[in-house]
Structure 1
Amino acid sequence: MKNKLKKFVLLWGFFNVVLCCSDCFSLCPALGGCLGSSRDAQCPGAVAVKKRIDCHPQPGASQEACEARGCTWCSTDVPNAPWCFFPEDSPYGYSRAGNIEKTDKGWRVTLNKRQSLSLFGNDISPIVLEAEFQTKDRLRFRLYDPNKQRFEVPLKIEGPGVTAEEANYEVEFSEDSTHFTVKRKSTGTVLWDSPLVDLFFSNQFLQITTTVPSTSVYGFGEHEHPTFKHNMDFSTYGMYARDQAPTSFANLYGVHPFYMCVEPDSNAHGVLLLNSNAQDVTLSPNPSLTFRTIGGIFDFYLFLGPTPENVIQQYTEAIGRPHMPAYWSLGFQLSRWGYGSLDVLKQTVDRMHRYDIPYDVQHLDIDYMERRLDFTYDKVNFAGLPEYIQELKKKGMHNIVILDPFITKDEEPGTYKPYDLGQEMGVWVNNSDGVTPAVGQAWPPGDSVFPDYTNPRTVEWWTQLCLEFKDVLDYDGIWIDMNEPSNFLRGQYPGCADNEINNPPYIPSISDRSLSQKTLCPDSKTYLGEHYNTHSLFGWSQTEPTFNVVQQATGKRAFVLSRSTFVGSGKHGAHWLGDNFSQWKDLRRSIIGILEFNLFGIPYIGADICGFNYNTTYELCLRWMQLGSFYPFSRNHNAEGNSEQDPAVFGDEFARISRATLLIRYSLLPYLYTLFYESHVHGNTVVRSLMHEFTSDQQTHGIDTAFLWGPAFMIAPVLDEGARSVDVYFPDAEWFDYYTGLKVPSAWKKNYSTVSAPLSKIPLFIRGGYILPEQAPATTTTKSRLNPFGLIIALDEQGEASGSLFWDDGDSIDTIENENYFLAKYTFSKGNLKTEILKNGYPGADTLKYNNITILGLKLRPQAVTLNGRSIHGDAFSFEMSGKLTLRISAPLTQELNIKFY
């Protein structure tokens, strides 16, 4: 409607019938819009366009409906800006009632609704705003109904508590009590500023707005975002778990209401809204954020940083540190939905081995099942599967089986244990009556019921079945799919009742503006309450019990891959970016996805290499194999009915290039594994943006076409069809070409430079000042873990570098907690390399050796080299004029090295 009105007005002006541009349509008020370039002058006294907060966030706004709400109506040609918005003297919101009350953890204040006017009815008054000083760098503040318990996410985030004086933040009301603010003490920067007149708290509509100190805002998910740094031009993102292939601006599989903001002085902070109800957030150019949700409470956590890495460390300390993956799971993985038979699977595996392509893990999608029934396998098309799994294990490989969260109810009684046992134990999500199971449709034949993983009895049921299935197929991990939960109907049979739970007065900006499309009715009942509140927790609640049973079944570290995630899912599971498409756009945007999930505390993340939907092309798949070789979770996967796309199917040249790139990954797995150790222990990101490391460089804030492993290794993939070069931005540091060891020219620093990228190469660079452990690669991690180690030492401008190596047996449970690991620290300074062994608790390290040390950036050729006081013959090292030195040694990994270069 808006676009048609604007077009009509422009035509009207063109024919000089009427002109109305400066007084907000005094001549043509029925059109409800304004012409002219100065939008702030069109409505005298109106809020500036960039500050507008939508007063009619649901579809169907009109001038009449807007003004009936006591709001202002004025069109604008600023894209996405609201035409109906709150005036400066808004009749809504809350005001402070009485004095601030001190509590054991901080303070609280009561707020009263200012007037009786309501947007969606059932406004709650009074409400309480409570601030809790959890740590010196973490503040919790929440708004809740003091007279009635509302749903809260069952994720406990507690802190030891600090005094206001100890905290690095200040929490205050403005002098006139109209604004609630949080400031950084050290700089005075306002991190959060909410006007109480923009606050709403009704039974099914909560809204709060805050300004942010800059437009460098990152996070919010799960979505396919077009850029890592968000566009603040009134972009709105809905969050509500949904089975939906990645689509711009659509809510996808998981919910992560977390963002990070980089302040103008390069400090950073993060904010979490811990709320699981359907919600959306609007990013406005003020800059500001407007949060809306339709249930629960406002439960915010603010993390002070001040570096981006500090923010994520503090965030994961609160929600749960990422789990430590098994070493084998960092190898390359292969999957497809549609092998169709064991023979086809064997042919695929055989050609991978024939080309010697590194390859550790084989996945089994739903076609391995008998008629797509969980906890079965097809004894006709996949006859011999249990025996074949054992064959792969003997070759050092691992396997993952998929399980879906819906169970058919229509098998003959006594023939399908998962349903019979679940019915006996009462484990299903129920209809609104709380008694009869909710029945929908999914992959299995007939109709399906849905386990309620928030119910302890369901955990018992799931644990028993997964343990029994281990005796059928000797799996190493479980892939849990479709757990939004997905349902092929709009709600369950016989449809959703017409009530305010199923059809609330406001539905956030989610696909179809529907809470029941492709899932269950919101008034369904779970153990924790209505599905209205718990829907987006389904995958989260399934992940932990799956993690626990995989460890119990295998006796080893768990591998759990979940499609639906929520705040804290990284503690027990991995994630992939869902049913993407074989398109260049999806290749490019996968980088944004892996960066975001590292912000969300789920660093073991990847996208389906070569794309899931559609047929790939040779060039796209090859470039994707190159990029995907550096996803933390590296898996090639595609859909039923599409052409095969494993890296062995395209012929010799494709296989050769894929093998070469994967061998680089495998050689650097000790570095990647060490990053996961630091993630598990300290909460670090594994993959991070250039902005993370070079926050004060404004150029890095918008870069999402290259990324880093940790602080030191840059991957700059080709993302455009036909391209044979890449424009790479090099922040102010020493950088070295991974392939040649050549130093990047000084003129390239803080500039974009064109780097050659023939079809056979993905550009890779090492940052000076860091030491990367490496290991001679092999075609499986089982083999590569036996090989000699090396060190790549990339020197900074001062000729210094440092790094570390974490090593354990790779798959035992709690090796870090039990101190069964090896940890070494490396330091290079003043021509001297020293290693310090910080922990030597893993006996297996005794059999491993160093055999190669590479130094990049040496200014002069050394005349002599000693290892622990003994001279090394000159033929044991070579020096290139580029400053690259290669040293061949033989020294135990557990020996502290002291190598001097004279």
Structure 2
Amino acid sequence: MPPYWSLGFQLSRWGYNSMDVLEKTVERLRQYDIPHDVQYCDIDCMERQLDFTYDDVNFAGLPEYIKKLKNDGMHYVIILDPFLTKDEPQGTYKPYELGQELGIWVNNSDGVTPAVGKAWPPGESVYPDYTNPKTAEWWIQMCMEFKAILDYDGIWIDMNEPSNFQNGQQPGCVENHLNYPPYVPDITGGLLAEKTLCPNSKTYLGYHYDTHSLFGWSQAKPTFYASQNATGKRAFVLSRSTFVGSGKYTGHWLGDNFSRWRDMHMSIIGMLEFNLFGIPYIGADICGFNEETTYELCLRWMQLGAFYPFSRNHNAIGHKEQDPGVFGEEFAAISRSALRIRYSLLPYLYTLFYHSHVSGNIVVRGLMHEFTSDPQTHEIDRAFLWGPALMIAPVLEEGARSVYVYFPEASWFDFYTGRQVSPSWLKKSVEVPAPLDVIPLFIRGGYILPTQFPARTTVLSRLNPFSLIIALDEQGEASGSLFWDDGDSIDPIKREEYFYVEYKFSNRTLKTTVIKNGYRGITTLAYSTIQILGFTSKPNVIFMNGEAIPSNRMHYSSNGKITLQISVPLFQELTISFGH
């Protein structure tokens, strides 16, 4: 399970370059009341790009500023690269010296001398061999010691393919069947050692030829435990390189993309693929990492990114700022609107992650996943679903003010109005209006979505009242569930310290059944609103647990939407009947 705060909006940049710029960036998001949960700083915050350091000149006061962010309900994530310089003066850089003492590096083919490459740190770099158990212990120790310097909440591991600024280590890769095999995949440069280590390098588990693809996975596992041990809370790890099984320990982002419309579209494909790979916590750099973004591209990407499981705006040094507060009031207002929708839906998203955690269910899925027998869904990659119930159809073309949406056979409701999609639209691709301030969203009938009133951070939103959106299917039925816990404790499911309730609507009656009531904090939370979409007629009377509800607490609109105002604790089971 990801920590709840990691489902909030996140902001990063390689190139803040100073404490002043970082503070001003965060402040303008606050001035525009844009939801913002997590702040990052890239390698420019380090002292000369050295892991486990920070630049106390350009970023003087960073430790105190992080504490201030945390006091405001925000969280901070550090970046760590997998390589370390070997050229610092003796006695000045413990991470390297302790690693050298333990003998934990990836070695040359002799299995003794460390493989030496070139990366961000000054001088030459060595590469920890994360398949070695001693390396894991060393890494966890370093992360825990650094926690005392910067009070971080999560760890972002980058460049862990592993990256190298030269082809192979010094003095180059010898001619043999590992470094130059008879068959080479279609890779950049045509060399297995392109911008990485020689395949005949030695690791604890064997040749780098056999373990290269496991490098990110082997780093993610000890980083998971480092984050958990250092914070005493649920781990947050984000990795650029992942492998089968990585989803247990880390999320993934889709690497150094470009500020291009095509890259925004491709991010949907990558997001769907990684859910199939068992890594559901996935996203792309919103607005693009490389090149200059544009107002419209970044705005449409902010709307799409509001529906990535991992929602982070991040870009590269040398390019203009692209946070949602830098473009002015209109941009900020539209971004704020999209993110508030996200925050309102976080209880539903968090519940999807619960089902993924315990059952392996997919969080974000293509329409094909739900409508397998409909061949028209098999090639749709410009729209996607959160779970089975919410369809997102972003604008992916410059200048577009509408988008074509395919509606499989089901009941569908416009998220914004609650109006049911015309039956004539089903099994067709229909042009739907999408003005600049709107990302088209549709709720599928047959499902109940738990929501919560949004706020600027998840710490605040988690205190707010809950609502239920009940979208009825053709039979007038719907079902859903809610998982809830404290959001950041370790193994709450194993310890049975969570709350789980199931919802069922049938025969004009809503029933809530509490399956598990193990979270003590649930007593402070309550339902405030019930919305029902697709109700065919206005009920003449409503009973809640056998008592009639005053008519002034219910509103029925002509499009078949009922809004019922209540005030009932979440832990209390409900039976709400809607009379004819």
- With the shorter chain as reference, the TM-score category is over 0.9
- Which of 51, 54, 71 is the matching residue for 1:377? 54
Structure 1 counterpart of 2:240, one-letter code: R
Unaligned runs of 5+ in 1: 1-323
User: Does residue 551 of the first structure (1) align with residue 191 of the second (2)?
Assistant: no
Structure 2 counterpart of 1:408, one-letter code: T
- Which of 880, 886, 896 is the matching residue for 2:557? 880
After superposition, what is the alpha-carbon deviation per residue over 1:189-234, rounded to whole angstroms, capped at 9, x for unaligned?
xxxxxxxxxxxxxxxxxxxxxxxxxxxxxxxxxxxxxxxxxxxxxx
C-alpha distance in structure 2 between counterparts of 1:699 and 1:847, whole Å: 46
User: Does residue 337 of the first structure (1) align with residue 14 of the second (2)?
Assistant: yes
Aligned to 1:433: 110
Instruction: State the Cα distance separating 1:333 from its structure 2 match.
Output: 0.2
For 2:378, what is the secondary structure of its paired residue? helix
For 1:640, what is the secondary structure of its paired residue? coil
User: Does residue 738 of the first structure (1) align with residue 433 of the second (2)?
Assistant: no
Matches within 5 A, 1:44-123: none
Unaligned runs of 5+ in 2: none
After superposition, what is the alpha-carbon deviation per residue over 1:274-320, rounded to whole angstroms, capped at 9, x for unaligned?
xxxxxxxxxxxxxxxxxxxxxxxxxxxxxxxxxxxxxxxxxxxxxxx
C-alpha distance in structure 2 between counterparts of 1:342 and 1:508, whole Å: 44
Structure 2 counterpart of 1:807, one-letter code: W
Q: List, as ranges, runs of 4+ consecutive aligned residues in structure 1 with deviation greater than 4 Å.
A: none
User: Does residue 800 of the first structure (1) align with residue 472 of the second (2)?
Assistant: no
After superposition, what is the alpha-carbon deviation per residue over 1:40-73, rounded to whole angstroms, capped at 9, x for unaligned?
xxxxxxxxxxxxxxxxxxxxxxxxxxxxxxxxxx
Structure 1 counterpart of 2:539, one-letter code: P
Instruction: State the Cα distance separating 1:579 from its structure 2 match.
Output: 0.1
Aligned to 1:892: 569
After superposition, what is the alpha-carbon deviation per residue over 1:801-858, rounded to whole angstroms, capped at 9, x for unaligned?
0000000000000001111000000000011000000000001001100000000000
C-alpha distance in structure 2 between counterparts of 1:788 and 1:505, whole Å: 63
Aligned to 1:386: 63
- Which of 29, 32, 39 is the matching residue for 1:355? 32
C-alpha distance in structure 1 between counterparts of 2:474 and 2:381, whole Å: 27
For 2:468, what is the secondary structure of its paired residue? strand
Which range moved further: 382-391 or 455-464? 455-464
User: Does residue 699 of the first structure (1) align with residue 383 of the second (2)?
Assistant: no
For 1:588, what is the secondary structure of its paired residue? helix
C-alpha distance in structure 1 between counterparts of 2:375 and 2:199, whole Å: 44
User: Does residue 614 of the first structure (1) align with residue 291 of the second (2)?
Assistant: yes
Matches within 5 A, 1:447-462: 447-462=124-139
C-alpha distance in structure 2 between counterparts of 1:557 and 1:750, whole Å: 43
Aligned to 2:86: 409
Structure 2 counterpart of 1:574, one-letter code: G
User: Does residue 493 of the first structure (1) align with residue 170 of the second (2)?
Assistant: yes
C-alpha distance in structure 2 between counterparts of 1:497 and 1:353, whole Å: 55
C-alpha distance in structure 1 between counterparts of 2:440 and 2:169, whole Å: 50
Aligned to 1:598: 275
Aligned to 2:504: 827
Structure 2 counterpart of 1:371, one-letter code: R
Q: Percent identity?
A: 72
C-alpha distance in structure 2 between counterparts of 1:869 and 1:659, whole Å: 41
Instruction: State the Cα distance separating 1:504 from its structure 2 match.
Output: 1.1
Structure 1 counterpart of 2:115, one-letter code: A
- Which of 184, 189, 197 is the matching residue for 1:507? 184
Instruction: State the Cα distance separating 1:708 from its structure 2 match.
Output: 0.2
Aligned to 1:585: 262
Instruction: State the Cα distance separating 1:509 from its structure 2 match.
Output: 2.0
Aligned to 2:517: 840
C-alpha distance in structure 2 between counterparts of 1:473 and 1:608, whole Å: 24
Structure 2 counterpart of 1:427, one-letter code: I
> Which structure shows the bigger proportion of residues in helix conformation?
2
C-alpha distance in structure 2 between counterparts of 1:697 and 1:764, whole Å: 21
Aligned length: 579
- Which of 208, 211, 217 is the matching residue for 1:531? 208
Matches within 5 A, 1:472-491: 472-491=149-168
Q: TM-score, normalised by structure 1?
A: 0.64
Structure 1 counterpart of 2:193, one-letter code: S
- Which of 442, 466, 479 is the matching residue for 2:143? 466
C-alpha distance in structure 1 between counterparts of 2:294 and 2:138, whole Å: 44
Aligned to 1:642: 319
C-alpha distance in structure 2 between counterparts of 1:477 and 1:602, whole Å: 17
C-alpha distance in structure 2 between counterparts of 1:347 and 1:686, whole Å: 35
C-alpha distance in structure 1 between counterparts of 2:108 and 2:93, whole Å: 23
- Which of 437, 449, 463 is the matching residue for 1:772? 449
Aligned to 1:721: 398
Structure 1 counterpart of 2:471, one-letter code: A
C-alpha distance in structure 1 between counterparts of 2:530 and 2:183, whole Å: 62
For 1:702, what is the secondary structure of its paired residue? coil
C-alpha distance in structure 1 between counterparts of 2:339 and 2:158, whole Å: 27
After superposition, what is the alpha-carbon deviation per residue over 1:698-718, rounded to whole angstroms, capped at 9, x for unaligned?
000010100000000000000
After superposition, what is the alpha-carbon deviation per residue over 1:86-125, rounded to whole angstroms, capped at 9, x for unaligned?
xxxxxxxxxxxxxxxxxxxxxxxxxxxxxxxxxxxxxxxx
C-alpha distance in structure 1 between counterparts of 2:414 and 2:270, whole Å: 26
C-alpha distance in structure 2 between counterparts of 1:419 and 1:578, whole Å: 27
Instruction: State the Cα distance separating 1:744 from its structure 2 match.
Output: 0.2
Instruction: State the Cα distance separating 1:463 from its structure 2 match.
Output: 1.0
Instruction: State the Cα distance separating 1:539 from its structure 2 match.
Output: 0.5
Larger radius of gyration: 1
Aligned to 2:432: 755
User: Does residue 565 of the first structure (1) align with residue 239 of the second (2)?
Assistant: no
Matches within 5 A, 1:151-170: none
User: Does residue 628 of the first structure (1) align with residue 309 of the second (2)?
Assistant: no
Structure 2 counterpart of 1:734, one-letter code: S
After superposition, what is the alpha-carbon deviation per residue over 1:738-786, rounded to whole angstroms, capped at 9, x for unaligned?
0000000000000011100000000000000000000010000000000
C-alpha distance in structure 2 between counterparts of 1:506 and 1:856, whole Å: 58
Aligned to 1:366: 43
Aligned to 1:18: none
After superposition, what is the alpha-carbon deviation per residue over 1:320-355, rounded to whole angstroms, capped at 9, x for unaligned?
xxxx00000000000000000111000000000000
- Which of 253, 271, 280 is the matching residue for 1:576? 253
Structure 1 counterpart of 2:523, one-letter code: D
Instruction: State the Cα distance separating 1:690 from its structure 2 match.
Output: 0.4
RMSD: 0.5
Instruction: State the Cα distance separating 1:730 from its structure 2 match.
Output: 0.2
C-alpha distance in structure 2 between counterparts of 1:866 and 1:847, whole Å: 24
- Which of 541, 546, 570 is the matching residue for 1:864? 541
C-alpha distance in structure 1 between counterparts of 2:172 and 2:520, whole Å: 61
Structure 2 counterpart of 1:844, one-letter code: G
C-alpha distance in structure 2 between counterparts of 1:787 and 1:509, whole Å: 52
C-alpha distance in structure 2 between counterparts of 1:698 and 1:331, whole Å: 35
After superposition, what is the alpha-carbon deviation per residue over 1:637-693, rounded to whole angstroms, capped at 9, x for unaligned?
000000000000000000000001100000000000000000000000000000000
Q: TM-score, normalised by structure 2?
A: 0.99
For 1:685, what is the secondary structure of its paired residue? coil
Instruction: State the Cα distance separating 1:498 from its structure 2 match.
Output: 1.2
Aligned to 2:365: 688
C-alpha distance in structure 2 between counterparts of 1:881 and 1:550, whole Å: 52
Structure 2 counterpart of 1:481, one-letter code: D
C-alpha distance in structure 1 between counterparts of 2:14 and 2:338, whole Å: 25
C-alpha distance in structure 2 between counterparts of 1:510 and 1:439, whole Å: 23
Aligned to 2:350: 673
Structure 1 counterpart of 2:375, one-letter code: Q
